[in-house]
């Protein structure tokens, strides 16, 4: 898998920005490919992690996966060069659209930028092997600069004071939310891995907004049940942890009245790489990625059938669902 990913990275434009990987970035320094002044192990981790990151768009977009397959087949079968150029132009168009959105949006703070770089260079294989994180934890899970800016914008727009996150990773989304909260605001974030909780703590504390972040370590369900018992309420909730847990997390929050009357719930990966809306034979994903292909479809339907709320699913990145209480949505709260 990693060799395949490294092939993908090699096929990309090597002049893209080192920090954000955009070809037309004007927020960061020109990219230096990591061969000097960096240990061989770290360089290897960076290459592998960046290759995974590079494939992030491919992972979430079924269209891109089909185009890549078409490109491979065209090369293998010596298709006419104009056909190959057309396929590659389609791939470039998809990337250019994403790159443009990132480039023209406000840049992330330096601390968020640093979290992104640290996440990309972290020796994930080693920490996975040592059992310090779950076996699927990888930089591909990171929300990143654009989704971070989106979260920050939405948190600010919702006038939230108290926010809740399930799934911290290295702190990118928690800090994006914290940056938009007032000085006495708080983000409580739940993370199952103690290792990630302490790594994120160190990273977010480089920011003055880090003090607004409270990290709870343990399974999301336990953390939520404890907060529900304490009667805690939140204006803004971001669900971004294990997908099979989403219905459970949503139910605990809604059934225990943990969402304030005008509060907002944001749910990441609602499209789940196409698995929410495409049959297996159209996914162009290997079976090991599709063992839980039904879970987000079930979550989305659960919310759709819940009379207490109104929702909108936006096709941003891997799909973001925004949920509010019906009265707030209808303007009667």
Applying CB under 6 A, the residues found at the interface with ligand SAM are 133-134, 137, 141-143, 166-169, 172-173, 190-193, 196, 219-220, 240-242, 245
Q: Could you give the CA distance from residue 195 to residue 124 in angstroms, rounded to a whole number? A: 11
Q: Assign residue 167 a region: left if phi > 0, alpha if psi is -120 to 50, beta otherwise? A: left
| Length of the chain measured in residues | 333
Query: In the bound complex, what is the minimum distance in angstroms from residue 3's beta carbon to ligand SAM?
Result: 25
Q: Based on CB atoms, which residue is closest to ligand SAM, 70 or 271?
A: 271
Q: Could you give the CA distance from residue 66 to residue 253 in angstroms, rounded to a whole number? A: 38
Query: In the bound complex, what is the minimum distance in angstroms from residue 58's beta carbon to ligand SAM?
Result: 17
Q: Based on CB atoms, which residue is closest to ligand SAM, 179 or 191?
A: 191
Q: Based on CB atoms, which residue is closest to ligand SAM, 46 or 166?
A: 166
Secondary structure (DSSP) of 61-82: -HHHHHHHHHHHHHHHTT--HH
Query: In the bound complex, what is the minimum distance in angstroms from residue 271's beta carbon to ligand SAM?
Result: 14
Q: Based on CB atoms, which residue is closest to ligand SAM, 149 or 193?
A: 193
Query: In the bound complex, what is the minimum distance in angstroms from residue 64's beta carbon to ligand SAM?
Result: 20
Structure-token pair, residue 282: 């159209």
Q: Based on CB atoms, which residue is closest to ligand SAM, 71 or 173?
A: 173
Secondary structure (DSSP) of 263-287: EEEEEE-SSGGGTTTS-GGGS---G
Q: Could you give the CA distance from residue 124 to residue 49 in angstroms, rounded to a whole number? A: 8
Query: In the bound complex, what is the minimum distance in angstroms from residue 252's beta carbon to ligand SAM?
Result: 12
Q: Based on CB atoms, which residue is closest to ligand SAM, 51 or 192?
A: 192
Q: What is the DSSP letter of 112?
A: H
Query: In the bound complex, what is the minimum distance in angstroms from residue 153's beta carbon to ligand SAM?
Result: 15
Q: Phi/psi of residue 53, each to 5°? A: -65, -45
Structure-token pair, residue 234: 């939140």
Query: In the bound complex, what is the minimum distance in angstroms from residue 148's beta carbon to ligand SAM?
Result: 7
Q: Based on CB atoms, which residue is closest to ligand SAM, 225 or 256?
A: 225
Residues 6+ apart with CB under 8 A from 166: 189, 190, 220, 223, 224, 237, 238, 239, 240, 241, 245, 249
Residues 6+ apart with CB under 8 A from 91: 64, 67, 68, 71
Nearest to 59 by CA among 150, 138, 145: 138
Confirm if 243 and 272 have CB atoms less than 8 A apart.
yes
Q: Based on CB atoms, which residue is closest to ligand SAM, 51 or 168?
A: 168
Query: In the bound complex, what is the minimum distance in angstroms from residue 223's beta carbon to ligand SAM?
Result: 7
Q: Based on CB atoms, which residue is closest to ligand SAM, 191 or 235?
A: 191
Q: What is the CA radius of gyration of the chain?
A: 20
Confirm if 58 and 91 have CB atoms less than 8 A apart.
no
Query: In the bound complex, what is the minimum distance in angstroms from residue 120's beta carbon to ligand SAM?
Result: 12
Indicate the SS3 state at residue 189: strand
């Amino acid at each position: 898998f990693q060799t395949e990913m490294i092939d993908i990275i090699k096929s990309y434009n090597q002049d893209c920005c080192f920090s954000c990987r955009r070809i037309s970035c004007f927020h960061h320094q020109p990219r230096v490919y990591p061969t000097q002044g960096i240990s061989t192990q770290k360089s290897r981790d960076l290459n592998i992690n960046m290759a995974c990151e590079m494939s992030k768009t491919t992972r979430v977009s079924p269209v891109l996966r089909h185009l890549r397959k078409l490109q491979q087949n065209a090369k293998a079968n010596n298709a006419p060069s104009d056909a190959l150029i057309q396929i590659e132009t389609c791939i470039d168009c998809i990337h250019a659209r994403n790159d443009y959105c990132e480039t023209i949006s406000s840049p992330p703070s330096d601390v968020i930028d640093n979290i992104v770089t640290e996440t990309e260079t972290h020796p994930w294989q080693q920490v996975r092997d040592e059992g310090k994180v779950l076996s699927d934890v990888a930089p591909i899970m990171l929300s990143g600069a654009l989704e971070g800016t989106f979260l920050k914008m939405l948190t600010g727009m919702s006038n939230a004071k108290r926010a809740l996150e399930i799934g911290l990773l290295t702190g990118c989304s928690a800090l994006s939310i914290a940056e938009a909260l007032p000085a006495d605001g708080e983000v409580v974030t739940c993370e199952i891995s103690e290792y990630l909780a302490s790594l994120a703590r160190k990273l977010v504390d480089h920011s003055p907004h880090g003090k607004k972040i409270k990290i709870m370590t343990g399974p999301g369900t336990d953390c939520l049940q404890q907060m529900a018992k304490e009667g805690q309420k939140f204006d803004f909730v971001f669900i971004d942890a294990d997908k099979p847990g989403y219905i459970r997390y949503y139910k605990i929050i809604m059934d225990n009245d943990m969402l304030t009357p005008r509060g907002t719930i944001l749910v990441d990966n609602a499209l789940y790489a196409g698995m929410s809306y495409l049959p297996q034979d159209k996914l162009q994903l290997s079976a090991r990625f599709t063992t839980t292909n039904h879970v987000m479809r079930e979550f989305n339907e659960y919310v759709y059938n819940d009379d207490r709320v109104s929702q909108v699913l936006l096709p941003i990145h891997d799909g973001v669902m925004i949920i509010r209480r019906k009265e707030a949505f209808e303007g009667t709260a």
